[in-house]
Structure 1
């Protein structure tokens, strides 16, 4: 089966500053009409009906929702979506957190995960992988994209926070450019995936803080959200 993956940027929408311009997040203070227009354009560009793009009400947890059909409302209080339905795009919103796109092309199972510091620490990615396995996926067939996020050289955190996260997500501790304690969540997630038996891992190297074509909460405070989406192409 053919797997599709898309990561948006901040260009090409109708949102005004500071959400300029392709903000897809409805929870950040942007004009709801602008967000709706941007989401309609996204669905149109993907050649999908609007209700075939499924969003989440993200809460920085480890809950996984299995989606079995089109939705007009976001999946409530969840940070990962899994589906086996062809033509149903599942989406994650980020502005520094790691968007993780998962797929077993042979089984036709895809997943989208919101892996911020808290979610990554409490195991949202293993929870999503288990849900995919329950749906027929196999770990040695799963392909992963770790999308753009804040990099380890830009993500400064207090030493006790670094130690706590690295304890639960080994490999995530880093040093920033200024030599301070930091976190590299993509590095930790990569090690977590490898330990579970997933070895087809791609990384989008862009840092949301450094790349001004992307939204970054750490860089700007009030800002929009980009989306990472995946689906099984029914064609």
Structure 2
């Protein structure tokens, strides 16, 4: 059978079998940003795409059900000018915010999270933290604990509203002066330092022991 639909703004006509899932057809057609191999039961959300602007789990939907509808995958968003399947001006604000805040770790659930967030921001440009957490809750993540993805979505939302956002610190801020021992340190493996007033502060620096490799036994 044939289905006609719009994928990332382009008209598509695909020949499918009645039992094909939307996930299987999308990956067969080259949309590899749609993840597979998760639960394949509609529970983890890693395979989510946008159907008429709303997130759906493509593993639990027949491709035939997408006939006449509008689909968006992660490939619809921006990419680096010198990478990807199309030339764009750069990353989408959501993608950039995920990078800047460190919300990407293993990255497996990231496309679905970004699409879910996009569906929220398209309807609610100034979402609350509770709304962001709610929309991301449909995508399971074992790496981030959701804190940084939530920060990323709120940051992107502010940028898309034209607000100025503070730059992300590339390196941690130095500890307060009161936390840093004064005086000269004696040795690299610990020792004593003399603080103002003659107080002696002793620090213990742990050693790192490495286990020697066992000799390789040859087999006859």
TM interval, short-chain normalised: under 0.3
Larger radius of gyration: 2
1 or 2, which has the higher strand percentage? 1
